[in-house]
Structure 1
Amino acid sequence: MRFVSTRGASPALPFGAALGAGLAPDGGLYVPERLPRLDARDVEAIPDGRLADTLAAVLRPLLGNDPLAARLDALCAEAASFEVPLVPLRGSGDHLLELFHGPTAAFKDLAARFLAASLSSLRAPDAPVQTVLVATSGDTGAAVGAAFHGREGFRVLILYPDGKVSPAQAHSLGAFGGNVRALRVAGSFDDCQRLAKQALGDAALRAEVPLLTANSISLGRLLPQMGYYAMHALRFQRRHGRPLGFIVPSGNLGNAVAALIARAMGLPIGEVVLATNANPTLSAFFDGAPYRGRDAIPTLANAMDVGAPSNVERLFWLAGGDEAAARGLIRVQRIDDARIRATVAAAEARHGIAPCPHTACGLAVLEDLRAAGDTRDWAVAATAHASKFLDVVGPLLSSTPAVPAAFAALLAKPAHADAMAVDGAALAEVLRADWATP
Structure 2
Amino acid sequence: MNFLSTRGQTPPTAIDRALSAGLAPDGGLYVPEGFPALPQPLAAEGLDATAHALLSPYFEDSSLRDGLREICARAFSFDAPLRPLSQADDWLLELFHGPTAAFKDYAARFLAEALAGLRDESAPPTTILVATSGDTGAAVAAAFHRRPGFEVLILYPDGRVSPRQAHGLGCWGDNVQALRVDGDFDACQRLAKQALSDEALRAQRPLSSANSISLGRLLPQAAYYAHAAGRHYAQRGEPLNFIVPTGNLGNACAAFVAKRMGLPIGEIRLATNANDTLPRYFGGADYLAQPTRATLANAMDVGAPSNFERLRHWYRHDAELRAATRADGVDDATIVETIRAAPQRHGIVPCPHTAIGLHVLETLRAQGDERPWAVVATAHPAKFDSIVEPLVGHTVEPPPALAASLARPASAEAMAADYAALRERLLG
In the superposition, the TM-score normalised over structure 1's length comes to 0.96
In 2, the alpha carbon distance for the partners of 1:260 and 1:128 equals: 36
Q: 2:80 aligns with which of 75, 84, 95?
A: 84
For the 8 Å contact 1:131–1:211, the answer to whether it is kept is: yes
Superposed, which structure 2 residues align to 1:296-375 within 5 Å?
296-319=292-315, 321-375=316-370
1:204 is matched by which residue type in structure 2?
A
Q: 1:129 aligns with which of 119, 125, 128?
A: 125
Q: Can you list the C-alpha shifts for 1:81-112, whole angstroms capped at 9, x where unaligned?
A: 11111111124431111000000000000000
Query: Offset of 1:352 from its aligned partner?
Result: 2.4
1:329 is matched by which residue type in structure 2?
A
- In structure 1, what is the equivalent of residue 400 of structure 2? 405
1:272 paired with 2:268, answer yes
2:199 is matched by which residue type in structure 1?
A
In 1, the alpha carbon distance for the partners of 2:425 and 2:248 equals: 26
1:72 paired with 2:77, answer no
2:176 is matched by which residue type in structure 1?
V
For the 8 Å contact 1:159–1:185, the answer to whether it is kept is: yes
- In structure 2, what is the equivalent of residue 144 of structure 1? 140
In 2, the alpha carbon distance for the partners of 1:64 and 1:47 equals: 23
For the 8 Å contact 1:48–1:234, the answer to whether it is kept is: no
Query: Offset of 1:255 from its aligned partner?
Result: 0.6
Q: Can you list the C-alpha shifts for 1:18-61, whole angstroms capped at 9, x where unaligned?
A: 000100011000001222234xxx323x4622100001111111
Query: Offset of 1:208 from its aligned partner?
Result: 0.4
1:422 paired with 2:417, answer yes
Query: Offset of 1:293 from its aligned partner?
Result: 1.0
For the 8 Å contact 2:89–2:371, the answer to whether it is kept is: no
For the 8 Å contact 1:43–1:266, the answer to whether it is kept is: no
Equivalent position SS for 2:247: coil
- In structure 2, what is the equivalent of residue 205 of structure 1? 201
For the 8 Å contact 2:109–2:143, the answer to whether it is kept is: yes
- In structure 1, what is the equivalent of residue 53 of structure 2? 57
2:328 is matched by which residue type in structure 1?
Q
- In structure 2, what is the equivalent of residue 31 of structure 1? 31
In 1, the alpha carbon distance for the partners of 2:187 and 2:208 equals: 18
In 2, the alpha carbon distance for the partners of 1:116 and 1:183 equals: 21
Runs of 4 or more above 6 Å deviation: none
Superposed, which structure 2 residues align to 1:39-50 within 5 Å?
42-44=39-41, 46=42, 48-50=44-46
- In structure 2, what is the equivalent of residue 8 of structure 1? 8
Q: Can you list the C-alpha shifts for 1:59-80, whole angstroms capped at 9, x where unaligned?
A: 1112222111111101111100
Q: 2:220 aligns with which of 219, 224, 227?
A: 224
- In structure 1, what is the equivalent of residue 382 of structure 2? 387
- In structure 2, what is the equivalent of residue 436 of structure 1? none
- After superposition, the CA RMSD in angstroms is 1.0
Q: Can you list the C-alpha shifts for 1:216-256, whole angstroms capped at 9, x where unaligned?
A: 00011111111011011011111111111111000000111
1:242 is matched by which residue type in structure 2?
E
Equivalent position SS for 2:195: helix
In 2, the alpha carbon distance for the partners of 1:35 and 1:94 equals: 29
In the superposition, the TM-score normalised over structure 2's length comes to 0.99
How many corresponding residue pairs? 428
2:330 is matched by which residue type in structure 1?
I
Equivalent position SS for 1:344: helix
For the 8 Å contact 2:131–2:155, the answer to whether it is kept is: yes
In 1, the alpha carbon distance for the partners of 2:307 and 2:89 equals: 32
Equivalent position SS for 2:40: helix
Query: Offset of 1:127 from its aligned partner?
Result: 1.5
Equivalent position SS for 1:389: helix
Equivalent position SS for 1:67: coil
What is the identity percentage for the equivalent residue pairs of Structure 1 and Structure 2? 60
For the 8 Å contact 1:47–1:53, the answer to whether it is kept is: no
